[in-house]
Structure 1
């Protein structure tokens, strides 16, 4: 399986917002190998709206996906697929619905959303705080297993840190 992990870093300057979207294609779970790295800059990004985060981030993720010609099987995002774990759409569900060719989307969220139960928590390393994993197109237990076993000894899997750093550099 080839995974594509995506992240968006925002830069607000003088009332104008741009986004730097980073993506890493990789394979392997416990031992990962980077296949390719991608960067896309998106101009005139929508302002942040509380409770409507997808309106800002979705166009950025779609801009990245338009630029990637290499194959991938699963998309991993920073955020929730479902805001209640099962049916209330979040960024990942909106992304999935926007895909012409459906690929499973796994959301890894760092912060707990009130409507998401601990059934979605994944504990990694010795962290006192879990990650919250939701998915569409893949059973959530399979997605949780994947995230729990991604390379890295700490709370954040190595690939989550790598795509974040790629976007910030």
Structure 2
């Protein structure tokens, strides 16, 4: 199963949504998980994970992950070639390196990262930025290119984004 997470903040409340789907090319989710909690930390530039990681871990505590499951986060796994981790890297560590983490970001991070891949989908000239840990990033890049939907954002990731804002 693939579990994609996103969080939306409104005042002091964080709404985290997870869409679970069976395959990279799925066009419909298998299950949706949602949770609202108080914001644990204020936004800190360069330390986004401090705000979002507690939200994801809280919702993950309600999901029974199994071997071979993959987690997608809205953001980065790694931020540069010097080992600076993004949200996905911290999540990987928090889960004792037991589950592969894929980061899909909408905006490019300025530092060079040899593990970052640009994914162009549909006719969009603007890429998605993909990083991964516990799974080969080049394989993931191909899978994301083929995810359902003909636009920049795959169908289920677009739905995930919409659900967090409702």
Please give the TM-score of this superposition, normalised by the length of structure 1. Answer: 0.90
Counterpart for residue 104 of structure 1: 100
Residue aligned with 1:87, SS: coil
Q: Which runs of 4 or more aligned residues in structure 1 lie more than 6 Å from their structure 2 counterparts after TM superposition?
A: none
Q: CA deviation at 1:85?
A: 6.1
RMSD: 1.8
1:9-158 aligned at under 5 Å gives the runs: 9-12=8-11, 17-69=12-64, 71=66, 73-84=69-80, 87-100=83-96, 102-116=98-112, 120-158=117-155
- Provide the C-alpha distance between the structure 1 equivalents of 2:102 and 2:39, rounded to a whole number of angstroms: 27
17-26 or 113-122: bigger deviation: 113-122
Counterpart for residue 4 of structure 2: 5
1:167–1:102 distance in 2 versus 1, CA, 3 Å: same
1:137–1:86 distance in 2 versus 1, CA, 3 Å: farther
- Provide the C-alpha distance between the structure 1 equivalents of 2:160 and 2:136, rounded to a whole number of angstroms: 24
User: How many residues are aligned here?
Assistant: 164
Q: CA deviation at 1:117?
A: 5.3
- Provide the C-alpha distance between the structure 1 equivalents of 2:155 and 2:81, rounded to a whole number of angstroms: 24
Q: Deviations over 1:96-143 (max 9, x none)?
A: 000046110000011011114586111111111101100000011011
Residue aligned with 1:96, SS: helix
- Provide the C-alpha distance between the structure 1 equivalents of 2:88 and 2:39, rounded to a whole number of angstroms: 22
Structure 1 gaps, min length 5: none
- Provide the C-alpha distance between the structure 2 equivalents of 1:70 and 1:137, rounded to a whole number of angstroms: 15
Please give the TM-score of this superposition, normalised by the length of structure 2. Answer: 0.91
